[in-house]
Amino acid sequence: MFKIFRNIDSKNYRPSLGALDIFKFIGPGLLVTVGFIDPGNWASNIAAGAEYGYALLWMVTLSTIMLIALQHNVAHLGIATGLCLSEATTKYIKPKVSKILLSSAMLASISTSLAEILGGAIALQMLFDIPIRAGALLVTIFVMFMLYANTYRVLEKWIIAFVSVIGLSFLYELSLVNIDWGSAVQGWVVPSFPAGSMIIIMSVLGAVVMPHNLYLHSEVIQSRQWNLKDEKIIKKQLNYEFLDTLFSMLIGWAINSAMILLAAAAFFRTSTPVSELSQANELLTPLLGNHAAIVFAVALLFSGIASTTTSGMAAGTIFAGMYNEPYDIKDNHSRTGVAISLVIALVLVFLISDPFRGLILSQMILSMQLPFTIFSQVYLTSSEKVMGKYKNTLFSKIFLYGLGAIVTALNIALLVSLF
């Protein structure tokens, strides 16, 4: 379907670029935002808040700053070249290396889909007492139907609606608890590493800065692309894309922060350990009332369905890119990529004995793959051969490689903490 957007005849179709044009560009960023308010985030954030209170809020802030820079950079690639990250990797990086990079990205996508499907299944169990495996099957079938039957424009509207429901749900939840805002502000800006927190820190990082979202953003941004040859329009797109990315990522930061704030206020303050999402839902009932628990479960269900949808799209993008093709749900490579990610993830759900731990470990796996995606992305966007005059400036290049170094250092710290 994105082939349609890439091949629009610029002579016959030109956008009017007026003051309200920003609203025409809102959408791709919100689609990506769903990826880092997914059930994996819920598990990581609830665990962070319940075990360490407000102390790990800084990780959401750091992750979001990194995310804004990286997502803007990869969207920049899509706008300037007309290629998604997967296609550019296939075209400009040596075949042996590109196959390893994209194969690891597919594994990350499967890990992501695992968390998303599992989260939706947990929500169905909370709401309707449906067994986890049966719920996982229902979520997978529904999402595959949505992906194979709908166009991007329809999916984008659904995703925006889902994000709105999730955001409003947490506003309601926060209205029911007393937040220590002084501690929260300190937690947002002062890094701390409480004893035993490294796995949670890495899971929060992996849950916010996600490899599959970098591939997805570089593809969906092209749904707003009209004319690659017109420099004025490209510059306009770059400006509007940054506003879309910044706006969307800040919404994600607020929702992720709200999860930790809720867990800190409801569970940490009362020294109530939380080992799974369904337990968090049950514990909210005596603390905040029946409505709070239902709202929590409904928001989780919307999160699971929406993020599974975007995870499937990302897998289709990565797999199609291996064949130097754009994402097109009518094309066999894109359809195969979607199926590989969702079906394998569903099989893994059937094999998992501890769903909550599975969610956290899936996010840790994402964080471990992330350096490979970041370094390959920055290499491509810094190349004049790939980007032409739109390549990264020296400052951007140093900054982005610095982010990759930070992620790598955190991964090393994680491995050290495990052994």
Query: For residue 201, what pLDDT is reported?
Result: 79
pLDDT above 60 for 419:
no
Q: Which range is least confidently modeled, 44-48, 157-161, 383-387? A: 157-161
CB burial class (10 A; 0-12, 13-18, 19+) of residue 67? Answer: buried
Q: Which range is least confidently modeled, 95-99, 266-270, 325-329? A: 266-270
Say which CATH topology domain 2-7+21-418 has.
Answer: Amino acid/polyamine transporter I (1.20.1740)
Segment 164-168 shows an average pLDDT of: 81
pLDDT above 70 for 104:
yes
Q: What is the DSSP string of 43-112?
A: HHHHHHHHHHTTTTHHHHHHHHHHHHHHHHHHHHHHHHHS--HHHHHHHHS-HHHHHHHHHHHHHHHHHH
Which tokens go with 393? 């400036």
Confidence tier at 101 by pLDDT (50, 70, 90):
very high
Segment 272-276 shows an average pLDDT of: 67
Q: Residue 175 — φ and ψ, nearest 5°? A: -70, -15
pLDDT above 80 for 219:
yes
Q: Which residue has the higher pLDDT, 228 or 300?
A: 300
Q: Which of 16-25, 111-120, 229-238, 340-349 has the highest mean pLDDT?
A: 340-349
Segment 32-59 shows an average pLDDT of: 80
Q: Which residue has the higher pLDDT, 378 or 35?
A: 378
Segment 3-29 shows an average pLDDT of: 47
Q: Where are the domains of the chain?
A: 2-7+21-418
Query: For residue 21, what pLDDT is reported?
Result: 53
pLDDT above 50 for 8:
no
Confidence tier at 25 by pLDDT (50, 70, 90):
low
Q: What is the DSSP string of 389-404?
A: GGSPPHHHHHHHHHHH
In whole angstroms, give the CA distance from residue 20 to residue 17. 8
pLDDT above 90 for 378:
yes
Which tokens go with 390? 């739109």
Closest CA to 369 of 143, 209, 176, 197: 209
- Angstrom CA distances, 236 to 248, 307, 382, stand at 18, 29, 21
Q: Which residue has the higher pLDDT, 276 or 186?
A: 186
Global pTM value:
0.79
Which tokens go with 27? 């959408």
